[in-house]
């Protein structure tokens, strides 16, 4: 009998990679999706099969984290052995514009799900997508003992969800784990998160479709890892003997400016930074020959737009991964420069340009099959087994 998992947020970056991973482990998967007037399943279309066909193992159910009745029905009907709660309004900047909505979906949505589990009376394991944003203004490196200091409505909502998860573990004996994950990226990253915004802008600049990249705080530092690796950790947490909370990251941090320099340099463009504060500009200093006919040295390619600043910023996140290393055997496989290359390669391909291909080669060398939207990472799933 296949194990059954329920995934909220299945259409998101992590939900799509987790689905592939669980399919490769022979799970039957049930995903909660929001009804939308246009298709929102682009990241999972390649693994979806008609549920009428025999052998179908991925099933989608309409619902919303704002609707407790639907959640209870779904959990009672599906009776999943594992629940991965990834659904959220996950954008930090947006949470300042929509604080109440973010609290409702990202915070209370978690309680609705936990209550649905309790009321349906099923025995299950629960993964909570907690975040390094919980640490906010606390000094790096951050680990499971570091005090939380949330700096946005998103982080405050995730803090509430974190403690509700602990409360259901302690109060109702639910096998519940918080994965406190640091930023993780991929070619499937949402287009308005900074890494993907940079790699897409780079590709558009090179193809002549965009002149400048408008950006916010260049100095903040993040511990950026590779999303497909992180979803494997979610599964691992639920498959320990006892439930526990874990920090997952790479242990190394870079600034937004570092990310831009690394991405542009990989594509053959060297950036020189001039000016200070909001007058800072990224100027094309030199480029490999034949990179792009429309670009000239001296062009301004990066400009600050204060619209992207946050009322309260999280300046420096860096994971102390000792516990996950010790107890889960965690060791990041894809490092910063490889991650950047994977994302740049993909976005160059998306605009029809050739790419150096070092990102794909690094992935292959480290056991990751494919990383784009239309193909699965896992051999078994690729072969339709």
Active site residues: 131, 133, 154
By the rule CB under 6 A, 129 interacts with ligand NAP: yes
Q: Which listed residue (5, 6, 14, 78) binds ligand NAP by CB under 6 A?
A: 14
Q: Which of 336, 347, 338, 324 is nearest to 368 (CA)?
A: 338
Contacts of 77 (CB under 8 A, 6+ apart): none
> Which option in ligand NAP, ligand GDD, none does residue 64 bind, with CB closer than 5 to 8 A by kind?
ligand NAP
By the rule CB under 6 A, 190 interacts with ligand NAP: yes
> Which option in ligand NAP, ligand GDD, none does residue 86 bind, with CB closer than 5 to 8 A by kind?
ligand NAP
Q: Report the residue number, 124 or 250, with the smaller CB distance to ligand NAP.
A: 250
Q: How many helices (H) and strands (E) does the chain have?
A: 13, 15
3-state secondary structure 223-264: CCEEHHHHHHHHHHHHCCCCCCCEEECCCCCEEHHHHHHHHH
Pairing of strands 300-304, 281-287: antiparallel
By the rule CB under 6 A, 105 interacts with ligand NAP: yes
What is the enclosing helix (H) or strand (E) of 190?
Answer: none
Q: Report the residue number, 34 or 364, with the smaller CB distance to ligand NAP.
A: 34
Q: Report the residue number, 248 or 302, with the smaller CB distance to ligand NAP.
A: 248
> Which option in ligand NAP, ligand GDD, none does residue 256 bind, with CB closer than 5 to 8 A by kind?
ligand GDD
Q: Report the residue number, 72 or 131, with the smaller CB distance to ligand GDD.
A: 131
**By the 8 A CB rule, do 65 and 8 touch?**
yes
**By the 8 A CB rule, do 183 and 135 touch?**
no
Binding site for ligand GDD (CB under 6 A): 90, 92-93, 131-133, 182-183, 192-194, 197, 215-217, 220, 222, 256, 308, 310, 313, 317
Distance between CA 296 and CA 269 in Å, rounded? 10
Q: What residues line the site for ligand NAP (CB under 6 A)? A: 8-9, 11-15, 32, 34, 40, 64-66, 86-90, 105, 129, 131, 181, 183-184, 190
């Amino acid at each position: 009998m296949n194990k059954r998992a329920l995934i909220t947020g299945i259409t998101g970056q992590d939900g799509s990679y987790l689905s592939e991973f669980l399919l490769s482990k022979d799970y039957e998967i049930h995903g909660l999706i929001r009804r939308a007037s246009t298709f929102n399943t682009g990241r999972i279309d390649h693994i979806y099969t008609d549920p009428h066909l025999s052998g179908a193992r991925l099933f989608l159910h309409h619902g919303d984290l704002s609707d407790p009745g639907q959640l209870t029905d779904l959990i009672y009907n599906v009776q999943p052995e594992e629940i991965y709660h990834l659904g959220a309004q996950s954008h930090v900047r947006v949470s300042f514009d929509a604080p109440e909505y973010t609290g409702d979906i990202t915070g209370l949505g978690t309680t609705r799900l936990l209550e649905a589990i309790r009321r349906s009376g099923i025995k299950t394991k629960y993964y909570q997508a907690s975040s390094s944003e919980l640490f906010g203004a606390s000094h790096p490196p951050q680990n499971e003992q570091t005090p939380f200091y949330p700096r946005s409505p998103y982080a405050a909502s995730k803090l509430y969800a974190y403690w509700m998860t602990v409360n259901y573990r302690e109060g109702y004996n639910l096998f519940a784990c918080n994965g406190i994950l640091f930023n993780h990226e991929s070619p499937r990253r949402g287009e308005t998160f900074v890494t993907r915004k940079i790699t897409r802008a780079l590709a558009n600049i090179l193809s002549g479709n965009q002149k400048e990249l408008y950006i916010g705080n260049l100095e903040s530092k993040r511990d950026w890892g590779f999303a497909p690796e992180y979803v494997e950790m979610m599964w691992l947490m639920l498959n320990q003997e006892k439930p526990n909370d874990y920090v997952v990251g790479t242990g190394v941090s870079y600034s937004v400016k570092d990310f831009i320099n690394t991405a542009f340099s990989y594509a053959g463009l060297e950036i020189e930074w001039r000016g200070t504060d909001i007058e800072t500009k990224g100027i094309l200093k030199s480029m490999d020959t034949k990179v792009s006919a429309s670009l000239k040295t001296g062009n301004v390619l990066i400009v600050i737009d204060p619209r992207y600043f946050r009322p309260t910023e999280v300046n420096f996140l860096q994971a102390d991964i000792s516990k996950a290393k010790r107890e889960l055997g965690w060791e990041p496989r894809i490092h910063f420069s490889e991650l950047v290359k994977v994302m740049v390669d993909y976005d160059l391909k998306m605009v029809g340009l050739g790419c150096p291909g070092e990102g794909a080669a690094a992935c292959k060398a480290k056991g990751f099959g494919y990383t784009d939207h239309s193909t699965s990472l896992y051999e078994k799933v690729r072969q339709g087994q």
